[in-house]
Each structure stands twice: as C-alpha cells, then as structure tokens.
Amino acid sequence: MRLTKRLNYMDKTPQEKESTEQRIFEAARALFVEKGMAGTRMQEIADKAGINKALLHYYYRSKDKLYTAVVKAVINVAIPKIIGIFESDLPLKEKIEHFLDVYIGLISKNTFLPLFILTELNKHPQEFIDSVMPKDLPKPDQFFKQVEDEISAGNIRPINPRHLIVNLISMSIFPFVAKPMEQLILQLSEEEMQQFLSQRKQEVREFVFASLRPY
C-alpha cells in the first residue's frame, strides 16, 4: 500500500507516468470536482480509472482519505497560481491585462473548479488557512507596492490595493461560475450568453482602467 505525497497533481515524472495510482487520483479528481464527495461513488472512480474497486482501497485506505488527497492537491495548486500572476515583473497595467487574459481563459475551460474550491474552502476554512499558509505561498506584496507607487506618481487614483485585487478576481471568476444565474437575470439565450462572456475580458479591462483614472 502506498500513499504518495504529491504537491502538484499535474506533476508527472516520466517513469511513473500513467501509473495506476495516478490514474486513480486523476479519475477521482475529475469526479469529485464535478459531483462532490457524497455525490461520487467509489465504483465510478474505479470504472473511470479502468481498474477494480478493491484497488482504490489498496492505494488509498478509504474514500475519505482519497477525497482529502484530492482536495489538498487541487487547492495547493490553484491558490499559488492565482497569486503568482500578481507577482510577475510586468508593469501594473500589463499585469492587470495579463491576469485577465490568463484567468478568464483558464476559468472558461474549467467551469467546475472554482465552485469546487469555494465549496471546499467554506467547509473547512481554518484547516486550509492553517495547512496552506505556512508554506511557500507567494505574497502579493509586490503588487501592493506597485499600486502604491502608481498612486504616488499620480498615474492612478488612490485605491486600496487589496480591494483592487478582490475586484479583479470577482469580476473575472464570478460571471463564469454564475453563468446560468446571469442568463436568467439578463434574459439571454445560450448563444447570446456565450457572446456576452467572450466580451468580459475587454469589458473588465475597460471598467477597471476607467475606475483607476486619477481624479
């Protein structure tokens, strides 16, 4: 029985590529993210991984342990990725554009992921704040300083950089997560909605830059 620790579930060392353990993990990840812990059957995971149910218990002792492994891996990959973008060396406006590019691109292809992470983090908030924070989590300090410099230079209006980050993330992630809700509210057809979402990147960019204009 093995219970391998893996920080990044996307890591694939050449030797063990497509090992049974990995196939199990990947199948579990996909299903848990889509249907949640309680909504996923061990049998489904086994089927998707192309192996037998008993093997799941051989590699991961219980459903609970398998689930926990998935949750930790997913969150430990996603959070640093978000922060990482803010820590690049680009100038502020390019950084914001880059963030919107990468983000809106990623999310529109991974609809389930944000909801899964949000739900999970809400279920055990303290656990993750404790277990993830101590690590090598990058800090958005550089971004904060950059914003303050631009304010001092009179290039943008005064603004609390933390709220700016939260506004950016909110306007990038939420519309995709809440797509069906918005479709209801805005009364758009599927095609119109698709069209609407494809405009987001440009619209958010314009909205934010307009807001940052100095008074």
- Residue 198: HSE in the Cβ half-sphere, 13 Å Cα cutoff: 6
Taking the complex as a whole, the smallest distance from the CB of residue 118 to DNA amounts, in Å, to: 23
Q: Which one of DNA, a second copy, none interacts with residue 159, CB within 5 to 8 A by kind?
A: a second copy
Structure-token match 């049998």, residue found: 43
Q: Which one of a second copy, DNA, none interacts with residue 207, CB within 5 to 8 A by kind?
A: a second copy
Q: How far apart are CA 139 and CA 83, in angstroms?
A: 7
Q: Which of 9, 30, 34, 42 binds DNA (CB under 7 A)?
A: 42
Please answer whether residues 24 and 59 qualify as being in contact, where contact means their C-beta atoms are separated by less than 8 angstroms. Answer: yes
Our finding on whether 61 is near DNA (CB under 7 A) is: yes
Spatial neighbors of 158 by CB under 8 A, at least 6 apart, are 151
Please answer whether residues 113 and 100 qualify as being in contact, where contact means their C-beta atoms are separated by less than 8 angstroms. Answer: no
Q: Which stretch binds a second copy (CB under 8 A): 25-33, 55-63, 66-74, 181-189?
A: 181-189
Q: Which residue, 41 or 157, is less far from DNA as judged by CB?
A: 41
Provide the binding-site residues for DNA, judged by CB under 7 A: 2, 20-21, 40-43, 51-55, 57-58, 61-64
Provide the binding-site residues for a second copy, judged by CB under 8 A: 35-39, 79, 82-83, 111-112, 115, 117-119, 121-122, 125, 128-129, 132-133, 137, 139-140, 157, 159-160, 162-163, 165-167, 169-171, 173-175, 177-187, 196, 199-200, 203-204, 207-208, 210-213, 215
